[in-house]
Amino acid sequence: MLERPYRRVKGELEAGNARPSILQSMISKLPDESDPKRAEAEEMAKAVTGAAYGGGSDTTIAAVQAFFLAMAMHADVQHKAQAEIDAVVGQDRLPDFSDRAKLPYVNAIVKETLRWHSITPLGIPHMSTEDDEYDGYFIPKGTLIIGNVWALMHDPNAFVDPSKYDPERYLNLKDANGRLDNTVRSPGAAVFGFGRRICPGRHLVDASLYVAASNVLAVYNIKPPTDKEGNVVKLKEEATGGLLSFMVPFKCVIEPRSSVALALIQGI
Ligand code: HEM
């Protein structure tokens, strides 16, 4: 199955014609076709890329959808993020990872988006492998344990007005630079599951959301749609149930922020 891409990628890399993507690097590192270890390595490569695709695609889409809805519902949040991006990055290029530490408000948006919309509201069930006790409760071996991710991320003891989308809850407003407040319960405490089987893609999705949020906000305004009479349609947070939760499909308007932004988009 990997023969053709393997030969093509290896050829292109050897000829110096390509900058390797992660997938290309993996394929090019497979042992040679005549090597007895090849079959096992190929199986592993298929399993790893398959698991990353299976675990990472719908979940990342759900997070990006929630980001767009939050932005369309909260122009004030969007404008604060854009002001931060303009001040740190300027308007003549797109933000990249080297800017990340200087964009606390955008980082707070990443955290708040993952907190606000629980993509896996009840996580993935675990099972106790031996008898255990927690907080006075006896948990026999073989018990199915479901972590209520939604409740942990909407806990009124941890978050003021937990249903509200408010990135500022993650900022230390006493710090003049509004740095991230790491004492606030992070989405990482529950959203990616628990223990040994915690989501291995959590760092990737954190990076993906930062790139999506910073780049989209640098060049676009996201607004609620208008109806036939030109009235603004009020958007609301409504999510589907199930193992994986998505925002119920919604419409929004996405337009370039300025002619400079348009030129930047067209130049990409
Ligand atoms: C916002 C995005 C994501 C969310 C909310 C999420 C959530 C989760 C959760 C709750 C689990 C179960 C952990 C447990 O057993 O307690 C999990 C497992 C897993 N995730 Fe993610 N995930 C996300 C993105 C990704 C990405 C981007 C990848 C890969 C590129 C990925 C790959 C996996 C894999 C392979 C597992 C199974 C791990 C195992 O059972 O050992 N996930 N994820």
In the chain, domain spans: 3-266
**Neighbour tally for 165: CB within 10 Å:** 20
pLDDT for residue 176: 78
Residue nearest to atom 19 of ligand 1 (CA): 199
- Report how far residue 61's alpha carbon sits from residue 54's, in angstroms, rounded to the nearest whole number: 12
CATH number of 3-266: 1.10.630.10
Burial track 42-61 (b if 16+ CB lie within 10 A, e otherwise): beebeeeeeeeeebbeebbe
Look-up of token digits 């050897």: 14
Report the atom number in ligand 1 closest to the C-alpha of 198.
13
DSSP one-letter code for 175: S
Specify the pTM: 0.90
Report the atom number in ligand 1 closest to the C-alpha of 193.
16
Say if residues 120 and 59 touch (Cβ distance below 8 Å).
yes
pLDDT for residue 1: 46
Report the atom number in ligand 1 closest to the C-alpha of 123.
10
Pocket test for ligand 1, best of 192, 194, 244 (most atoms within 8 A of CB): 192
Centre of ligand 1 from the C-alpha of residue 47, in Å: 15
Centre of ligand 1 from the C-alpha of residue 87, in Å: 35
Pocket lining: 124 vs ligand 1, CB cutoff 6 Å: yes
Pocket lining: 60 vs ligand 1, CB cutoff 6 Å: yes
Pocket lining: 209 vs ligand 1, CB cutoff 6 Å: no
Residue nearest to atom 14 of ligand 1 (CA): 193
DSSP alpha helices (H): ranges in 74-192?
75-89, 104-116, 149-153
User: In a structure prediction context, what are the per-residue pLDDT tens digits for the chain, which is 268 residues long?
Assistant: 455 555 565 666 566 665 666 667 777 888 888 899 999 998 988 898 899 999 999 999 999 999 999 999 999 999 999 999 999 999 999 999 999 999 999 999 999 999 999 999 999 999 999 999 999 999 999 999 999 999 999 999 999 999 999 999 999 988 877 799 999 999 999 999 999 999 999 999 999 999 999 999 999 999 999 999 999 999 999 999 999 999 999 999 999 999 999 999 998 7
Q: For Cα atoms 201, 205, 206, give the angle at the middle one, nearest 5 degrees.
A: 115
Centre of ligand 1 from the C-alpha of residue 200, in Å: 6
